Structures are given as structure tokens and as C-alpha cells.
A and B are shown apart, each in its own frame.
Chain A
Amino acid sequence: MTRMSIAAALNAGLRAALESDPHVVLMGEDIGALGGVFRVTDGLQKDFGAARVIDAPLAESAIMGTAVGLAMRGYRPVVEIQFDGFVYPAYDQLVNQVARLHYRSGGLVRMPIVVRIPYGGGIGAVEHHSESPEAQFAMTPGLKVLTPATAHDAFWMVQEAVASDDPVVLMEPKRRYWESSEVGDQPAPTWSSVVRREGSDATLVTYGPMVATCLAAAETAAAEGREIEVVDLRTLSPLDLQPVMASVRRTGRVVVVHEAQRTLGIGAEVAARIGERCFFHLEAPVGRVTGYDMPYPPSRVEEEFLPDVDRILDAVDATFTAGSDGEAL
């Protein structure tokens, strides 16, 4: 067991991946001498050389598109998109090429590419630096999407993503980069969700940067005598909703929490599937606490936009009061 930050855990995981397979190459903007704007690749170019930790020209579509060619040549590229909002120039290559070449080629061409994207808000940034586009990748056939919430998951997930023969988008919760936790010796199963806190009264389903917020909400609720279970999805594509269904069957009350905008977000899919599988176990409609359906706001009001403990607990309360005052269920 070692205690480290999520950024340090990602760095250690990337180092392990570079050590274990000479075909692993890192590519991105400013990832070399600078170590990336978040220092996630700190020291890697020094140790593995500029041919394996490549400072790319400033062109995201090219970073993604050349990763396709590298993969065709037998390499396992790990590309860094500097900020979430910068992924859109690469979106065409990601969705039209990376995600489809295995399918297009009848299974003959593999795309073992990892796309690392720092995502989410809460860091007081200017526009285009606080986006949560994860649903756009999770809804794209051919891509898999992972998001760690702990240093342990960060360390193991990045290695599992590199080992995957399928393209994986690794969404890294940037506002949690510097939060430290224990890194253990055994990874959780790769494409699985986990219960972060057990509770019998209600269920919070969340992932990435909102896991810590939901755990804080559960802590507050416990002080008030309400036990909330918190499920960390970890994998957004494929979704593993077994722990969610099991939890909802016990609690009957569930709220999905994410920073991303509400409409057609991950929460919409989770709520739909709960409806399909657990409808008769529900005591109340599935709640959602999310960002609002507006472009990410100026940072001075981002705390109002982002789900916080109070909004989450208010939504949990609503699952207990729904219907009791004549409100339609």
C-alpha cells in the first residue's frame, strides 16, 4: 500500500505500462519536458526518451489520427488531450476512425489506443477547460470509457486501458488530480462498478469527480441518521449496473449524480435501465443531480452549476417525500 495523488498514480501507471511493453508510446501536447500541463507525464520523457514520450505539434485531430496509423503499425499509443474542451478537433478521428476500424475491417485491424482526457470543472478555469463530454464517448459504438475516482483506480485503470486491444477513453477527474489515497496491490475487475460506501436507505450512483462529493453527502446524511449507499460506476462504457440494481432492489430510492449536463447524460441511461430492470422495486422516481443544460458557466458561478452536497441531499430527500404531499409519482 502506497499513498499518492491521482496524478502521481497515473504517472506511476503510465511508467509501468511503458516498462512492460516497448510498443507503448505516449503522445500529446507538452507532455515531454514539461510533463504535461497537469504533470501527469512528469519525468517520463527523461526516462523513456523523446521517441516514446512524444511532444506533439499542436493539432488534436493529428494526435488522434496519427495514433490510428501507429496502431496499424503495431504500436499501442496513449494520447493525451490537454483539456476536455480540446477533444473536439479530434472528435472526427476518434468517432469515425478509432472507434470503427476494427468493425470496418471485419475484425482484422485493432486499435489498442488510449485517449487520456482530464475532464470536469471546479478548478476556476476559463472556457473550454471544464467540460464533461463523457456521454459523447460512451454513446459511441466501438469505444470503451473508464473513469477513476481514486488513486488506486487511476494506477490500475490506466494500465488496463493500455493492455486493452480495444480503444479506451480514460476520463481523468482533473479537480481530484491532487487528492491522495491508498494504492493497493490488486485492481478491481476492469469493467466493473463498485460500492464505495454501503447504506440501506437510498442509493447514489456517480463516477469520477463526483464520487468524493457523493461520499461527503453520505457522511452528512449519516450524521442525520440516514444511511446512503454510494456506487462508483468506474466504467461508463460498457456500463456495469449489477451493483446499482442490487442496491436499488434494497433501497428503492436512487439518485444519479454527475457534473455533465442533464439531457442525454449518463444519468439518463442509468435511470432508463433502472426503470427497465428495477421498476417494481422503486419507491420513488429516479432522481438526477447534474450540471444544467447550458454551456459550462464562467468560473465565478461554477459552484452553483456543479452538484454539491446540499443539492445531492435535497434530491435524496425528494425520493422520500415524493408522492407524500399529493405529488404525482
Chain B
Amino acid sequence: MNPSLPTESDESDLVRLLTPEGARVEHADAGWSGTDADLFALYRDMVLTRRIDTEGYALQRHGELGLWPPCLGQEAVQVGTAHALRAQDMAFPTYRDHGVAWVRGVPPERLLGIYRGTEHGGWDPAEHGIALPAIIIGAQTLHAAGYAMGVLMDEAVGHADSSRDAAVAVYLGDGATSQGDTLEAMSWAASFSLPLVFVIENNQYAISTATSRQTTVPLVRRAAGFGIHGVRVDGNDVLASQAVMEAALGRARDGHGPTVIEAVTYRRGAHTTSDDPSRYRAGEETEYWEARDPIARVRVLLDSLGTFERELAELDAEAEALGERLRSACRTLPEPDLAALFDLVHVETTPELREQQEAAIAWKALDTEETAS
């Protein structure tokens, strides 16, 4: 049996509210009570996330980006959980969480900049309620735990006030669960009863390494050892993803502490554009997961409602326009200025750095002069 093809028993504890075939189902512990408009909003963000991802991949293949980490297949967990966040909440994403960044309002051009090499990730976490993506695996779990400590110190939980009570979400992959930082963050979250939700996007692979190398039990069981509430969800079901996230964030905002969500999903693309998945996984596996596409099942549901024809047509056009916008923006992203980077090393720069900065500027001027002549 291929380790990435779940058995029935693997799925027995999954929270699922929308089947791969697009049928709504009930679950004893979770429910999704959004409107049809909410459903369409989730669909729209998943479609646009996939478009951002497709464009990122294509731009890399056309040599416009140095690298792209595709999120293909993980749109539901990213968009669903991010929809549960409020303005005052803070998300700590990984480099693959394009859907979370999109829902939080980060202009996708900023993601392109990271992978084009024009910047390391310059948006203001406070403005968008989302930190810069972590590249060091698991490092962000501790940043999230510290931020959540600050939320507690600010007494921003437990007021039953939806405009004030805040929570923190940290996104991580199955590979990150083997990192000491992640386990320390869980220990911290439990010990300080932090308003923190761990969203483990178990996409079955850490580059080439299957989840079975990271763990011999479902990852959600990590939570119990720390005394943290754990829940396992179908990460390709956007309704279930949003529902369990809302419940977890609600607990956090109410002052009831952390939750670990294991969202079972699948990385349909490569780890990054530098990776070659054909070396470590079989086609039958990707076919299995393609049949469980997170977007298609919502489309079935929307089509069955029959009331969104106009919106769906407009969405096609919107996605086209977004793609065009990204292609054109990518090629015109401003080139970084090495000399200006000196000013970013510290808040208050140093005489030594000023000296090196002046030397770099003078050298470049000389170089430019020589090129000109």
C-alpha cells in the first residue's frame, strides 16, 4: 500500500463536511453555517489562490522567478482557515501559504518579489495581520507563541468581544512537526495556555520525505502529549477547514488555550520548482488526490445551487485579469539597491556600515562610469 493513499481507518477521525463528490455531510463535532454568498467567497479565494500559484509556477518556468513553491492542492485548508481569522488576529505562515497571504490581503506581487529575488518579504505584518513567511522550518511556531504571549499580556482574550478578543494562528507542514522548535512551541502554548492555533498542513511530504518518516501515528496525536486539544480535518474540505478553525480560534479568543489542527491534504505539485517528485512518488498517488480536489467539490455544490452563474463567469474573468496583472507586475518589480540595504541592517546604523556603504556606492559609480565609457 502506498503510504500516501489513506485507508478508511485513516479517515475515520477526519472532520469532513463536504465530500470529494461535492455532497454536504454532517459531523457531530463541527458544523458550517455560512450563507451561499460565504460559500462563493471561499470558492473565489480558492480559485484566485490557484491562479496566483499557477502564475508563480509559470513565471518560474519562463525564467522570471528564481523559485516557486507551489501550493496546488492545499487551497482549501489555507483559504478555509484564513477565512476564520479576524482583523485583530495574527497569522504566521510558511513559504507555501499563498492562500493565507491572499486572504489576509497581502498583494501577491510581494510574494513574487521574494522568489524573483527583489526582496526578502517586505510587507508590514501589523498592517495585514500576517507575518513574513518563514523559510527556516518550524521557526515561526515560536514567533507565534511569543506573539500569543503578548496577546495574553495585553489582556486581549476572554472578553466575549468579537472586535477585541484576539488569537494567533501558526501554519506549518508535516516536516516541521519533527523540528524541536515546533515541539517547544507546543510545550510553551500548553504551559502558558496561549491563544494559539497550530495548523499542520499535512501534505504528505517534506520535500521527498513521506510523513511516515516524521511520525508513526497521526500528527494530531502530538497534541495530547502536551495537553492540547487536537482535531483532524479533511484539509481538502474548505467548509470543514473553516469550521474547525473557527472553533479553535474561538476557544483561543475565549481564553481556553491552544489547539492543534492536523489538516490532511496533499501537495500535488513539487516541493519547489527545483524539485522532481517523479523520483519519490507514483502517479497513482497524484491521481488519487486529483480526484479529491479541494476546488472541484465546491464547484459541484455551487453548480447545484444554480444561482451563481453570473458570478462564476465574472470570476473566470477576474482570475484572467489577476494572472495578467501578476505577469506584468513581475517583470516590472523594482530591482533592489544594494547600497540601500546597508540602511536596513540596524535601526541605528554604525560607522563601520556607513563606511562600507560609501565604498559600495563609490565602487558602483566607478563601475557604471567604466561601462558607460
Which of these binds chain B: A101-109, A203-211, A309-317? A101-109
When the two chains form the complex, which single residue of A69, A97, A102, A105 contacts B144, counting CB atoms closer than 8 Å? A69
26 residue pairs bridging A and B, Cβ less than 8 Å apart: A51-B153, A57-B184, A59-B184, A62-B181, A62-B184, A62-B188, A65-B181, A65-B184, A68-B146, A69-B150, A72-B125, A73-B153, A74-B150, A92-B136, A93-B142, A93-B181, A102-B344, A103-B345, A104-B121, A105-B125, A108-B123, A109-B132, A142-B345, A164-B348, A166-B348, A237-B350
Chain A residues 47 to 76 lying within 8 A of chain B, measured CB to CB, are: 51, 57, 59, 61-62, 64-75
Cβ–Cβ contact A68 & B124, under 8 A: no
Cβ contacts under 8 Å, B172 to chain A: none
Task: Determine the chain A residues whose CB is within 8 A of the CB of B153 once the complex forms.
Answer: 25, 51, 73, 75
Q: Within the complex, what minimum Cβ distance (angstroms) separates B184 from chain A? A: 4
The reply to whether the CB of B151 lies closer than 8 angstroms to some CB of chain A is yes
Number of interface residues of A (CB under 8 A): 45
B346, closest chain A residue (CB): A166
| Smallest CB separation, B334 vs chain A (Å) | 12
Whether B146 and A69, one on each chain, are in contact in the complex, defined by CB atoms closer than 8 angstroms, is yes
Q: How far in angstroms is the closest Cβ of chain B from A314? A: 32
- Name the interface residues of B115-145: CB closer than 8 Å to any CB of A: 119-126, 131-132, 136, 139, 141-145
* A93-B142, A96-B139, A105-B124 given; A166·B147 CB < 8 A: no
Closest Cβ neighbor of A242 among chain B residues? B351
Q: Is A239 an interface residue (CB 8 A)?
A: yes
Q: Is A198 engaged at the interface, CB distance under 8 Å to the other chain?
A: no
Q: Could you tell me the distance between the alpha carbons of A65 and B187 in the complex, rounded to whole angstroms? A: 13
Docked pose: A107 CA to B344 CA in angstroms: 6
Given A67-B146, A104-B120, A59-B154 contact (CB < 8 Å): no
Is A57 within 8 A of B187, CB to CB? yes
CB distance from A80 to the nearest CB of B (A): 15
Cβ-closest 10 pairs across A and B: A69-B146, A65-B142, A73-B150, A66-B146, A106-B122, A69-B147, A238-B350, A62-B184, A165-B347, A104-B120
Residues of B within 8 A of A75 (CB): 150, 153
Residues on the A chain within 8 Å of B144, using CB? 69
Taken together as a complex, chains A and B put the C-alpha atoms of A165 and B119 apart, in Å, by 22
User: Contacts A142-B345, A144-B346, A166-B346 known; A62 to B121 CB distance under 8 Å?
Assistant: no
Q: Is B343 an interface residue (CB 8 A)?
A: yes
In the complex the two chains form, what is the Cα distance from A109 to B123 in whole Å?
9
Query: Are A96 and B347 touching (Cβ within 8 A)?
Result: no
| Number of chain B interface residues as a range | 35 or more
Question: Which of B119, B154, B180, B184 has a CB less than 8 Å from the CB of A73?
Answer: B154
- Residue among A66, A69, A165 with the most chain B CB within 10 A? A69
Enumerate chain A residues within 8 angstroms of B150, measured Cβ to Cβ: 69-70, 72-75
* B148 at interface, CB cutoff 8 A: yes
Whether B143 pairs with A72 at a CB distance below 8 angstroms is: yes
- Determine if B167 is an interface residue (Cβ-Cβ < 8 Å): no
Q: Which residue of B lies closest to A74 (CB)?
A: B150
| B197 contacts chain A at the CB level, 8 A cutoff | no
- Chain B residue numbers with a CB within 8 Å of A77 are 146
Supply 5 further A-B pairs (C-beta < 8 A) apart from A61-B180, A62-B145, A65-B184.
A59-B184, A62-B187, A65-B181, A66-B142, A238-B353
A110 on the B face (CB < 8 A): yes
Q: Is B274 an interface residue (CB 8 A)?
A: no
B341 interface contact, C-beta 8 A: yes
**Chain A residues with CB below 8 A from B149, complex form:** 66, 69-70, 73
Task: Report whether B184 and A61 are in contact in the complex, using a CB–CB cutoff of 8 Å.
Answer: yes
